[in-house]
Amino acid sequence: MKKVLIISYYFPPAGGPGVQRVLKFVKYLRDYNWEPVVLTVDKGAFPNVDESLISEIPPEIKIIRTKTLNPFGIYAKFSGVKEHKAASVGLLTERKISVREKISRWIRANVFIPDARIGWYPYAVRAGLRYIDAYRVDAIITSGPPHSVHLIGLKLHKKTNIPWIADFRDPWTDISYFNDLPMTRFVQRNHHRLERKVLTAASAVSTVSPSWKNIFQLKAGNHYEVIYNGYDESDFGNLKIKKRDKFIIAHIGNLYASRNPENFWEALRLLIFQHNMTGIEVRLIGNVDAAVRTAISKRSLDEFVSIIPYLPYKEALAHMGDSSLLLLIIEPWEAAGGMIPGKLYEYLASRRPVLGIGPANGDAANILYECNAGTMFDRENTHKIIGYIQHNYRMWKEKENVQLEHSPNVRLYSRKEQTCKLAELLNRSYEQTKKTTTTTA
C-alpha cells in the first residue's frame, strides 16, 4: 500500500462543507491501496466547529497536528467582530462596516499573502519534511482553500521531488470576492504569480467542476482532473423521511448577502399573499446574513421563515428528511457556471426535489438534470420559480411527502466513486514521476 501525505488546514474538529471532501478521501483511500497520513493544524481559526466529525476519522489514520501563527484574535479585537467571524473568508456583507474594520480588512488583504492562514506555512513545511525524512511517502495532496496550503505543497515537492496533486475546492484569483478585496495592484499581481507557479509546478491539478477545470487550464499547462464533491452513502442509510403537516422548503448551509435570493422571497410573498398558499414554512439552517433577514422582513415573511443556527453535519442532514423541497442557491459572479455547492450531492442522496436558483446552463444545473433531481432557474425568473413551487406543493398535498426516483447517475457522485478517481490520479502521477526519475538517472 502506497502512502500519501494529505495537507489540509480544515480537518475535524473543524466543521463546514470544506472539511467533508478531505475527510471522505481519508475514509476511502485505503480501499484503493493508498494509506493517507493527514497533516493539519492544531487549534486552527475555524469559522465553524463540529466535534461530532472526529468520530468519522478512521482510528488507524495517522494525523500530524502542528502549531500555527494565528492573527485572527488580534484582528477580531481591533476590528470589533467576533473571532469566528474574523476567521471567515470572503463573507462580504451589505451592512456598514466601521473604519477600524476597513483598516483591518486592508491589512488582511495586503499583508497576509495569499491568505491569513499563511502563518501555518513554516510549521507545516517543517513537520512535512520531518515526516518525509522518517518515513516513505509516495505522493502529496494539498487541498485548498486556504491556498497557502498549496505553497506548502510546492515547497515539499521541490525539496523531495515527490509527486504532488494540488486540489482546488474553489478558484483562486477567480473566486467571487477576489476583486472586492481591498488589495493593491502589486498584491493582485502577486496572487496571479503564485497561482501560476502552483498550477505549473504541481504533478497534477484537481478541481470540483468542469467549468473550473477550464478556467485553470487557460492559466497554465498541466494535467487537470475533475474530482467532484459527493455524498457518503453511509450518512444516508438511516435518514428518515418524515411526514409533516407543513410544506417545508429548507436551505442547508450559510446564506450570505451575495447569495440572497431576492426573487425567491418575492415568489414566496406572491404565493402566500396573492395565491393564498397555506401551510408553508421555509427553514434556513446555518448562518444567515443581515441582508437576507432584511429581505424577508421587507416582505412580511418573518412568521413563515425559521432561522436555525449552524448545526452539526448529521443534524443538518436530518432536516433534509423533514423537507418537501430543498433550496439550492448560487451567487451571481463571473465563474458561477462552475459552482457546484457541496450540499447539492447531499440533496441528491436525500431524494428530495431541488429548487435551484443560479445559472440555468451551469454545471450544477447539468447534474440536477442528468439525475432527475430538480431544476435550476435563473435569478430573474420569478414566474417559473412560482410554478415550480406550486407543482411540488400539489405533489405534497397529494402524497404528504415526495421521494424522488433518481437516475442511476446519482451513484456516480458518491464519495467512494470520487475517491476512486483520486486514487487513479495518484497512481498516474506516481508512475509518471517514477518513469521520469528512471529516465533522468
Q: Which of 262, 228, 250, 252 is nearest to 332 (CA)?
A: 262
Query: What is the Cα–Cα distance from 281 to 252, expressed in whole angstroms?
Result: 14
Do residues 359 and 395 make contact, with C-beta atoms less than 8 angstroms apart?
no
Domain 2-230+414-440 and domain 233-408 have a common topology: yes
Cis peptide before 163 (omega within 30 of 0): no
One digit per residue, the tens of pLDDT, for the chain of length 441 reads 999 999 999 999 999 888 999 999 999 999 999 999 999 999 888 888 999 999 999 999 999 999 999 776 655 555 554 544 444 554 445 556 677 778 878 888 898 899 989 999 999 999 999 999 999 999 999 999 999 999 999 999 999 999 999 999 999 999 988 988 999 999 999 999 999 999 999 999 999 999 999 999 999 988 999 999 999 998 887 777 666 789 999 999 999 999 999 999 999 999 999 999 999 999 999 999 999 999 999 999 999 999 999 888 888 888 888 899 999 999 999 999 999 999 999 999 988 999 999 999 999 999 999 999 999 999 889 999 999 999 999 988 887 556 667 678 999 999 999 999 999 999 999 999 888 776 665
Query: Is the CATH code 3.40.50.2000 the one for domain 2-230+414-440?
Result: yes
Query: What is the Cα–Cα distance from 421 to 228, expressed in whole angstroms?
Result: 9
233-408, what's its fold?
Rossmann fold (3.40.50)
CA torsion angle 227 229 234 236 (round to 10): -140
Q: Which residues pair with 249 in a beta bridge?
A: 282, 325
Domain extents in the chain: 2-230+414-440, 233-408
Q: Which of 155, 268, 236, 150 is nearest to 199 (CA)?
A: 150
Secondary structure element (H or E) that encloses residue 7, with its range:
strand 2-8
In the block, cell 478585496 appears at: 181
Query: What is the Cα–Cα distance from 249 to 261, expressed in whole angstroms?
Result: 14
DSSP letter (8 states) at residue 403: -
Give alpha helix (H) positions in 112-261: 121-134, 148-160, 185-201, 210-217
